[in-house]
Amino acid sequence: MKRSYSKYSAKDDLLWLILRPWIFIPRVLYILLTFIFLFLRILFQGNSKNKNVQKNLSKYLFDVITDLGPCFIKLGQALSTRPDLVRQDWLTELTKLQDNLPAFDHKIALKIIEEELGSPANELFEEFPDSPIASASLGQVYKAKINNSYLAVKVQRPNLYFLIRRDVVILRFLGTFLSPLLPLNIGVGIGEIIDEFGKTLFDEIDYQKEAENALRFANLFKENPNIFIPKLEKQFSSKRVITTSWIDGVKLRDRALLEENNLIPASFIKTCVISGLQQLFEFGYFHADPHPGNMFALKGGNADCGNLAYVDFGMMDTITNSDRLNLIKAIVHIINEEYYLLAEDFQKLGFLTKEQDLQKLVEPLKEVLGGSFGAEVGNFNLKNVTDKFSKLMYSYPFRVPSRFALIIRAVVSQEGLALRLDPEFKILKIAYPYIAKKLLTDNSEEILEILLEVVFDKKGQIQIEKVESLLNILFRDSENINSDLIPVANAGLKLFVSKKGSEVRKNLLLSLIKDEKLEFTDAKKLLTLIRDTFSPLNMAKSAVQNIISTV
């Protein structure tokens, strides 16, 4: 019998569970007691230097999360991507939450396949194994064979809808009830954030929805030679079974594993981060669960950009065009140390109320972010700023809009994944040049407006320091200094002579007039800056580097 799942509804699901106190009360007590025992054990043993004690404690932590079920496993997976938050011996155990969980009964999996696809597995496939090759929070994967090709057949865990519905309601109840006691200040949004988590999980257990996500994601990256998305096999997919082509790659689990396979970790970090930035700032549609179990390093590519495969498209989300542009503006304002404008960006994004006096936040924002995005770009990491920002949120009326819960999860997970491969990794070494290049090469009306804000002040005068800072970020903080020179030069020239460039031309002319006189000082500085940046020697180096990268 085919299943039909309802959408998540906080009110309806809470009512459903309250009307079943024989389910609700024992489960709440069990969760509370489990966490109390876990807390006490960590309190007394967490600082022990005995390796056996820590090994047993990490195993206990894994068992607790696994025993509590899919909702808690999802939360544990997020922790498993943060080597800067979790000790290494615990992290090794938590990594198993990604795809090494206890499997459910093989006979049940075969029954689900027959119910969903209409025939037994041994009739549908030439070869079908007796056990799964991987087992994750929501399903387990089999490596089947048909027409001399291998397929990944993911079968959903039984009774999943009930388990998630029950536990999301309880998580929301406990989170809302306990939030005043926690040393956090995320505004009024903790219930909303759990609602967002619940909606995403309900979407994730609908494999037909996942199939649509996979097709959409593949279409976005169809022109990118470094990103591979497995092909969906529609005839072997349904609401509780999804089948794709098999990915023959190495999971982005640790540096040593990649090096053993003659793969360069840094190349996959760059591909991973750039593709994540594209999802957020270009496509507005992103993979919200980029943990090492969902990403594979493939052969091919080069030392600069490795070939990367994404799998598991159950947890996806979108970002609105307005939010996307405001985030880019926020990054520009941080770069330029314009903290009042940054406070306005936070207000537009919903992190601050419309009634908030933004002037009061200028100094606190400067204290938290000052220097982090300037000369010290190489020393920046999200955790340093996040730690400072947590204190700021506790003291000031910041709140996390629920729609940003998955964006934050995706970005933090991606940085955590990169840190597993390279403990010295700094996300802005890649992200900074990407944003700068986007400002200089994207000729859309919205991005052009942001670029004009950088180049000209409110009086229409050229801001030489900001233009120089933007070029420095792209061509001096980038690991591949010369490769972007030609694309940026081409884009700049096209913009200048195009209809869209009329505003640029007008502002340049106006900037030459000061006190009703022609003033060429700033124009000369700008021309000198452009001449030095795009010198014939640099352009030649760029051409050679681009040729080498394509070979």
Which pLDDT belongs to residue 541?
58
**106 vs 42, more confident:** 106
Cβ neighbourhood burial of 305 (10 Å; 0-12, 13-18, 19+): buried
Residue with more model confidence, 470 or 342: 342
Strands 149-156 and 241-245: antiparallel
Does residue 139 carry a pLDDT above 60? yes
- Of the listed ranges 216-220, 322-326, 371-375, the least confidently predicted one is 371-375
Q: Per-residue pLDDT for 439 more than 90?
A: no
Q: What is the pLDDT of residues 334-345, one digit of tens each?
A: 777 788 988 999
Please report, in angstroms and rounded to a whole number, the separation of the first and last CA atoms in the chain. 53
pLDDT of 302 reads 78
Cα dihedral 342→343→349→353 (10° resolution) = 180
Contact (CB, 8 A) for 215 and 164: no
Paired tokens of 406: 């998955």
* Mean model confidence pLDDT for the chain: 79
As a whole number, mean pLDDT of residues 90-118 equals: 86
The pLDDT value recorded for residue 478 is 46
Question: Quick check: 387 pLDDT over 80?
Answer: no
Bridge partners of 296, per DSSP, are: 251, 309
Query: In this predicted structure, what is the pLDDT of residue 86?
Result: 65
In the chain, the percentage of residues whose pLDDT exceeds 90 is: 27
Q: What is the pLDDT of residues 2-55, one digit of tens each?
A: 445 568 888 899 999 999 999 999 999 999 999 999 889 888 887 888 888 888
**Does 1 have pLDDT greater than 80?**
no
Q: Report percent pLDDT > 70 for the chain.
A: 74
Residues annotated as part of the active site: 289
Dihedral (Cα; 296, 302, 304, 309), 10-degree rounding: -20
54-79 residue pLDDT tens: 888 888 888 999 999 888 888 887 76
| Residue 283 DSSP label | I
Cα distances (Å, whole numbers) of residue 362 to 102, 183, 187, 342, 365: 51, 24, 20, 9, 5
Considering 169-173, 352-356, 385-389, the range whose residues carry the highest mean pLDDT is 169-173
pLDDT score recorded for residue 376: 47
The pLDDT assigned to 27 comes to: 95
Total-model pTM: 0.79
Bigger pLDDT: 439 or 490?
439
What is the total residue count of the chain? 551
Q: In this model, does residue 216 exceed pLDDT 90?
A: yes
- Residue 378's pLDDT band, with cuts at 50, 70 and 90, is very low
Exposure of 507 in the CB half-sphere (CA atoms within 13 A): 21
Burial of 53 (0-12, 13-18, 19+ CB in 10 A): middle
DSSP for 87-136 reads -HHHHHHHGGGTTBSPPPPHHHHHHHHHHHHSS-HHHH-SB--SS-SEE-
Helix axes 51-68, 21-45, angle to 10 degrees: 170
What was the pLDDT predicted at 85?
A: 59
- In 313-427, which ranges are continuous DSSP H helix? 321-335, 339-349, 362-369, 382-395, 405-421
- pLDDT the model gives residue 220: 95
Contact 14, 177 (CB under 8 A): no
Strands 307-310 and 227-228: parallel
How confident is the model over 119-127, as a mean pLDDT? 94
CA 140 to CA 152: how far, in whole Å? Answer: 10
Comparing CA positions, the residue from 325, 248, 223 lying closest to residue 282 is 325
> Model confidence over 507-542: pLDDT tens digits?
666 555 555 554 556 666 667 766 666 556 655 655
pLDDT confidence of residue 407: 83
Residue 283 has pLDDT above 50, yes or no: yes
pLDDT band at 150 (very low <50, low <70, confident <90, very high): very high
CB 175 within 8 A of CB 257: no
Collect all residues with Cβ–Cβ distance below 8 Å to 302 and sequence separation of at least 6: 267, 549
